[in-house]
Structure formats: structure tokens, C-alpha cells
Amino acid sequence: MTRADEPLVGRVIEPLPDALYRVELADGHKVLCHPAGKARLQAVRILPGDRVQVELSTADPGRGRIIQRLA
């Protein structure tokens, strides 16, 4: 298992209501994510198919936050 502060790379599968996104990680796991504070404040548009960096929650490995959208 990876450490919580180690970012993982995934791809956005679908946007969900209330600024949530379903992200498929490189290892095949699907995680429910919300944008981190800076991405939300700068109004970064996250669309299906975008590659993103994700930090997983230590309390619930099925949830995380999107810290960066990758090119």
C-alpha cells in the first residue's frame, strides 16, 4: 500500500454531482475524489478523460482528492 502523502496518477472516468469525480487509478482501482482547495479556488476545469494526480485518504482508501490536473 502506498503512503497517503504520495500522489498517484489516474484518469477521470465521470463527473458526479457536488464537485465529485470518479477516478480510475493506474493500478485499476476506482476512487471517489473531490478537488483540493487550490484547484477549486482557481476553477480548474476537470473533464472526463483528464489525467490527474490524486492523494488518497488515510481513513478511507476509496476516497481521495485531486491535487493537480496533468497535461
Report yes or no: 7 and 1 within 8 Å, Cβ to Cβ: no
Query: What pLDDT, on a 0 to 100 scale, did the predictor assign at position 3?
Result: 54
62: in domain = yes
Q: What is the DSSP string of 3-27?
A: -TTS-EEEEEEEEETTTEEEEEETT
51: in domain = yes
1: in domain = no
55: in domain = yes
- Number of domains within the chain: 1
pTM: 0.85
Q: Supply the CATH number for residue 36's domain.
A: 2.40.50.140
State the cell numbers at 28: 485499476
2: in domain = no
pLDDT by residue (tens digit) across 21-67? 999 999 999 999 999 988 788 878 999 999 999 999 999 999 999 99
Which residue range is the domain that position 37 belongs to? 8-70
3: in domain = no
- Best CA proximity match to 10, nearest among 21, 38, 43: 21
